Structure 1
Amino acid sequence: MIIKRNVLWAALFIIPAVELFGFILVSSWFGVSKTLLLLISTSLIGLLMMRFEGSKVLQDSRQQMQEGRIPGRTMLDGLCIFFGGLLLIIPGFITDIIGFTLVFPLTRPLYRGVLLKWIEKKMKNGTFTYYKR
């Protein structure tokens, strides 16, 4: 538990420092006003992508449930889109890159596989419980 807290505290300081460095680097290339416009544009494009992909995932999961299937992969896609959208809202270039790869359908399976392995590990350890109706 102590290691997880230390990683969380390190991330709390490292991520903003890296984002600040990226902002300074990009603003030295393009200027401050264009950099701010780029950050706002990536956030807006990301939110639109998240909305479009999220509605597509909801439609797919509804269809699968109506067919009597469990929408497992679709639910993992929904989680990836949700966290990708959160990262796109946070200002910064690194979080935007990770957020876009979470929302974009061609790169999402990379994260989905990692998330699936994490869930399987937690279920085997007994630290992740699910309730079946």
Structure 2
Amino acid sequence: MNKLLLLFIAVPLVEMVVLIKVGEQIGALSTIALVILTAAIGIHLLKKQGVAMLNQANWKINQGQIPAKEMAEGIVLAIGGALLLTPGFVTDAIGFACLIPISRHFLLGAVLKNINVSPIYTHNSKTSFHQPPEQSKNIDPQVLEGEFERKK
């Protein structure tokens, strides 16, 4: 919690220092125009990337697949859009990194490698976050056994 509080204090202070330094170099009106320009470009990129992401997710759903990657990238896009709408050059740089596909994949990979996901198993109407006792430890965790019925 303390890291989050520090982040909420440090980011605006850094943004103010950067805005003041840029304003000293190019002038106040030019700095304001540049902040508005980066927001406009960011909104355009966000719309373009968001539509592409929704189309990809829709295609996966139509193929019977779960669009998990697209959902995660959608969250990164939303964060990037919020950062681009926040006035400042540091948040704009991070926001643009969230919108550019190559850097978005890099950021997402860096975040996801630090997340430990436990599968949820349901047995006899009880939900468990641990592996069922009847399964052996030697079973490949990438294989999910079960039954399904295709409904048309």
Q: TM-score, normalised by structure 2?
A: 0.74
2:109 to 93, 107, 113: 113
Residue from 72, 84, 89 that aligns with 2:85: 89
Q: Does 1:60 align with 2:53?
A: no
Letter in 1 for 2:31: T
Deviation at 1:46, TM superposition (A): 0.3
**Secondary structure in structure 1 of the residue aligned to 2:102:** coil
- Structure holding more helix per residue: 1
Question: What corresponds to 2:136 in structure 1?
Answer: none
Moved over 4 A (4+): none
Q: Which amino acid aligns with 1:28?
A: E
My pick for the range that moved more, 72-81 or 12-21, is 72-81
Percent of paired sites with the same residue:
32
Of 70-79 and 41-50, the range deviating more from structure 2: 70-79
* TM-fit CA distance, 1:72: 1.7
* Higher relative contact order, structure no. (Cα contacts within 8 Å, ≥ 6 residues apart): 1
* Residue 43 (1) aligns with residue 39 (2): yes
Give the Cα separation in 1 of the matches to 2:79 and 2:86.
11
Residues in 2 aligned to 1:24 and 1:56: alpha-carbon distance in whole angstroms: 37
**Structure of larger gyration radius:** 2
Q: Of the candidates 2, 13, 34, which is equivalent to residue 9 of structure 2?
A: 13
Distance 1:50 1:60 in 2: 15
Q: Distance in 2 between matches of 1:22 and 1:61?
A: 38
1:76 lines up with 2:76 in the alignment = no
CA–CA distance in structure 2, aligned partners of residues 66 and 116 of structure 1: 26
Distance in 1 (alpha carbons) for counterparts of 2:111 and 2:2: 22
**Gaps (5+ residues) in structure 1?**
none
Q: What value does the CA root-mean-square deviation take over the aligned residues?
A: 1.8
Distance 2:62 2:89 in 1: 40
Tell me the CA shift for residue 117 of structure 1. Answer: 2.3
Aligned residues: 121
**Structure 2 regions of 5+ residues with no counterpart?**
121-128, 130-152
